[in-house]
Amino acid sequence: MSFLEVEGLSVRIGGAPVLSDVSFSVQRGERVGLIGESGSGKSMTALSVIGLLPDDAQVEGRILLEGADLQRIGERRLCGVRGDRIAMIFQEPMTALNPTMRVGRQVEEVIALHQRASRQDARTRALELLERVEFPDPARIARAYPHQLSGGQRQRIMVAMAVACSPALILADEPTTALDVTVQAQMLRLLARLVAEENAALLLISHDLAVVSSMCERLLVMYGGHLVERGPTAELLSRPSHPYTAGLLATSAALTVELEDQTPVLPTIPGSVPGLGRFPSGCPFRSRCPRADAVCETEPELGSGERAAACWHPLSEPSAVGGPAT
């Protein structure tokens, strides 16, 4: 059994479907990327794993961590899992950090809560963690409030809190989106080093293909709350099967096409991501897909195998494509 197993996860919020029959696994020490446009269900997948969905969410399926179903262990035990066995790095640390507390104290709280450490031991451990995430003067940083730090520094505080209890699984939701290119590269190197040191599994959520290609061994592509393709990173990026994956690759290409008037043109995916509950039946991408026809009104299944795509008209043939969803 894999370290993390998500089986048939479906989520409805306010009656609107946001995830549909999502299944994937992550091995201990593996780095998996989850990619797709905003509104595709990536963050909702991570929030489902860590149990931070709204109160009115209706959830079906199973989320197994080392064989234990997180949907059935109860809120009290799940609170003990969060921050200890599973940690999450949020996209915007200013919304995740308490603006009224010094950041050192916030790191200490994680250690005291999950490791039952004394105040002094938690403070010592917090300073060690701040040094581990490459702050040259941990004591000075520990005394600062979040608003006194830069975006990159705040994100490093979030990373320190995430690894404080040596978690087995780290969920990173767009951890570098708000950072400039130089700081982004530093953050990715730091995250990769800490994940390796902890031998932790990583689920990295991003819309930036350059980020996931440098960090992840395997990719999951999500659209409309469905997983539409999966495979090893190098193979999937070099030979996409689903038209949506190909569209993502085209829009993120570094090179642009120049017209006679020298105006750069960036390829786009036609249309836009529908709102919750507004994706078409059948293949969720069919309203934007140039290859769609009548058969796409029936939902294709992702299929089994390491390399698979849920598409009736794949651009290339992975090991398993098409077939009606059951």
The reported pLDDT for the residue numbered 298 is 96
Six-digit token string for 319? 């090991």
pLDDT one-digit tens code per residue, 202-241: 999 998 888 899 899 999 999 999 999 999 999 999 999 9
Q: At residue 11, does pLDDT exceed 90? A: yes
Q: At residue 64, does pLDDT exceed 60? A: yes
Residue 240 CB neighbour total at 10 angstroms: 24
Distance between first and last Cα of the chain: 23
- Strands 201-206, 16-26: pairing is unpaired
Residue of 38, 39, 42 whose CA lies nearest to 22? 42
pLDDT one-digit tens code per residue, 144-190: 999 999 989 999 999 999 999 999 999 999 988 777 878 888 889 99
The reported pLDDT for the residue numbered 325 is 63
Q: Domains of the chain: which residue ranges?
A: 4-216, 241-321
In this structure, are residues 214 and 130 in contact, taking their beta carbons and an 8 Å threshold? no
Six-digit token string for 321? 């494509």
The reported pLDDT for the residue numbered 255 is 40
Q: At residue 198, does pLDDT exceed 50? A: yes
Q: Domain 4-216, what fold?
A: Rossmann fold (3.40.50)
Residue of 17, 6, 84, 73 whose CA lies nearest to 225? 17
Radius of gyration of the chain from its Cα atoms, rounded to whole angstroms: 21
Six-digit token string for 90? 């949020």
CA pseudo-torsion sign 66, 67, 68, 71:
positive
Mean pLDDT of the chain: 89
**Confidence class for position 74, pLDDT limits 50, 70, 90:** confident
